[in-house]
Structure 1
Amino acid sequence: MKKINYKDLVKRYYEELWNKQNRDMIDVVFDDEITFRGSLNIEAKGKKEVRDYMDNILNGIPNLYHGIETIIEENGVVAVRAVYNGTHRGKLFDIEPTNRRIKYNGASFFKFKDDKICDVWVLGDLVTLKDQITQK
């Protein structure tokens, strides 16, 4: 059996799960016991909690786009430098919608088990994001 390319799997995570908002990809890309710490500093365990996290984020920024700036694989770990873009159209951080465009950076680290993503740790520039949706 051919081992999958981890960088390709991570690209599918961004393109199909997040950018196309295809929630069916949760079962394709994630291990059943996925641990996920998202860019908004929210932790999720298991596919249902990841789905809830995704719904929460997309409620606040329904057109959220994840752009890969850099992707590196070393010793079975994939690291990504990403830029996130969208419009604040729903409640986020208890902040009512502002309809402001947002753009902030993040870095994500992916681990794998049985050719699926088993752990994601995302560091997002929350200071920049909050500044963009709270400025008067």
Structure 2
Amino acid sequence: MPDYKLLVRRYYSEIWNEWSEPALEELISPDVGFHGSIGTAVKGIAEFKRYVNRIRSAFPDFHNQVEELIAEGHKAAARLIYTGTHREELLGFPGTGNKISYQGLAIFEFKQHRIVKGYVLGDIETLKKQLAQK
């Protein structure tokens, strides 16, 4: 059985922290179903790429710190801390230059060494408070 904890670590390190397109193609299923931490739902790798680019535009230095990982069967869960600097519009807030930090939880389902489903819940209220600060 694949090491799903390692795949989740690679997902956050290579896709979200390093913005690696080859890693995205390798780790994400073409028909992925994904619900992101800011409430966005996407279907398919093209929509997932647009979601990643949207977050990257809003937070060019976006960083995902994996605090805890659990894996069982074909699923894995992660507890995370997200950080970054708000540069462009997100959630109705224009770029502020504010440093943000919020927590989240993610559950992944795998098939053939790729993520086929992802459900991420982020502490959006904390994020919004930080985006609203002047």
Q: 1:115 aligns with which of 109, 113, 124?
A: 113
Look up the match of 1:86.
Answer: 84
Q: 1:95 aligns with which of 93, 98, 114?
A: 93
Question: What is the rounded CA distance, in whole Å, between the counterparts of 1:23 and 1:43 in structure 2?
Answer: 20
Q: 1:44 aligns with which of 36, 39, 42?
A: 42
Deviations 1:52-89 (A, max 9, x none): 00011111111000000000012321000000000001
Please, what TM-score do these two structures have when normalized by structure 1? 0.95
**Aligned Cα RMSD in Å?**
0.9
Q: Which runs of 4+ in 1 moved over 3 A?
A: none
Q: Which amino acid aligns with 2:77?
A: A
Question: What is the rounded CA distance, in whole Å, between the counterparts of 2:27 and 2:102 in structure 1?
Answer: 25
Look up the match of 1:23.
Answer: 21
Q: Which stretches in structure 1 are left out of the alignment for 5+ residues?
A: none
Question: What is the rounded CA distance, in whole Å, between the counterparts of 1:19 and 1:71 in structure 2?
Answer: 17
Look up the match of 2:30.
Answer: 32
Look up the match of 2:74.
Answer: 76
Deviation at 1:91, TM superposition (A): 0.9
CA contact (8 A) 2:33 2:42 kept: yes
Q: Which stretches in structure 2 are left out of the alignment for 5+ residues?
A: none
Please, what TM-score do these two structures have when normalized by structure 2? 0.96
Partner SS for 1:117: strand
Partner SS for 2:70: strand
Question: What is the rounded CA distance, in whole Å, between the counterparts of 1:123 and 1:44 in structure 2?
Answer: 14
Deviation at 1:95, TM superposition (A): 1.1
Aligned residues: 134
Deviation at 1:24, TM superposition (A): 2.1
Percent identity of equivalent pairs: 36
- Per mean C-alpha deviation after superposition, the further-off stretch among 19-28 and 99-108 is 19-28
Question: What is the rounded CA distance, in whole Å, between the counterparts of 1:101 and 1:26 in structure 2?
Answer: 26
Deviation at 1:93, TM superposition (A): 1.1
Look up the match of 1:134.
Answer: 132
